[in-house]
């Protein structure tokens, strides 16, 4: 029986890697991004919504290249996308620190972020300005803006696609490899949280409790 290993959720043996190596060699003018997209089309590699899994494909290619099983073209630095710019809010003033209890700001309002809206611009500005990593959005993601009872913004949430493997999570959910493959698309991973009013543990817990399933 041929020895195969799982890479980014795909089982690959020597024959598959050889075919992939030849497939790449036949496209010397393609960038890494185009190779990833082309590989998804070649394998019909899609998520549960029918979208090409090009980020997963790119990760697979990088992992194989790191172990010298394939050779990728050099990075095209001049074609790399510039970092995402976030507009400064007009007439923005740094809010004064305040000390309040959770009861004083409840009920919390959880708003789904939609691109181009006023709330979306505020959400992006807060994360870019106050989160220690700035605003980093890669792949599938969903954001929420949390407001207090007076309608004042108090927190931001950002969720992204769940990590492919996480031993603690998989053990907690009782996942083996097969269950993880079938269930991963239904889960999200918290990527960022910013709290402007209360201790992060208190407000984060309340906010995440209020956030429902991802809208599809």
Per-residue pLDDT of the chain (216 residues; tens, 9 = 90+): 567 888 888 888 899 999 999 999 999 999 999 999 999 999 999 887 788 888 889 999 999 999 999 999 988 766 556 666 777 788 777 777 777 777 887 888 888 988 889 898 888 888 888 877 777 776 677 888 888 888 888 888 888 777 767 778 778 878 787 777 676 666 655 555 555 544 444 455 555 545 654 544
Question: Could you tell me what percentage of the chain is helix, strand and coil, using 3-state DSSP and rounding each to the nearest 5?
Answer: 40, 15, 45
- Where along the chain do its domains lie? 5-79, 102-210
- Report the Cα 92 to chain-centroid distance in Å: 28
């Amino acid at each position: 029986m041929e020895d195969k290993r799982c890479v980014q959720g795909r089982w690959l043996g020597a024959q598959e890697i050889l075919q992939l190596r030849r497939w790449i060699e036949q496209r010397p003018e393609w960038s890494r991004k185009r190779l990833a997209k082309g590989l998804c089309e070649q394998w019909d590699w899609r998520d549960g919504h029918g979208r090409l899994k090009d980020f997963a494909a790119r990760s697979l290619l990088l992992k194989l290249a790191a172990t010298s099983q394939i050779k990728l073209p050099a990075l095209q630095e001049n074609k790399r996308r510039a970092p995402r710019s976030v507009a400064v809010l007009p007439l923005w003033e740094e809010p004064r620190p305040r000390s309040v209890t959770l009861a004083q700001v409840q009920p919390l309002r959880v708003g789904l972020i939609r691109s181009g809206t006023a709330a979306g611009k505020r959400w992006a500005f807060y994360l870019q300005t106050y989160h220690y990593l700035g605003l980093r959005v890669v792949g599938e993601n969903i954001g929420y803006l949390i407001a207090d009872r007076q309608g004042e913004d108090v927190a931001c949430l950002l969720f992204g696609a769940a990590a492919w493997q996480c031993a603690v999570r998989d053990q907690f959910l009782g996942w083996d490899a097969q269950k993880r493959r079938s269930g991963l698309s239904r889960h999200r991973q918290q990527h960022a949280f910013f709290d402007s009013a209360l201790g992060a543990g208190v407000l984060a817990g309340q906010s995440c409790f209020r956030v429902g399933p991802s809208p599809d």
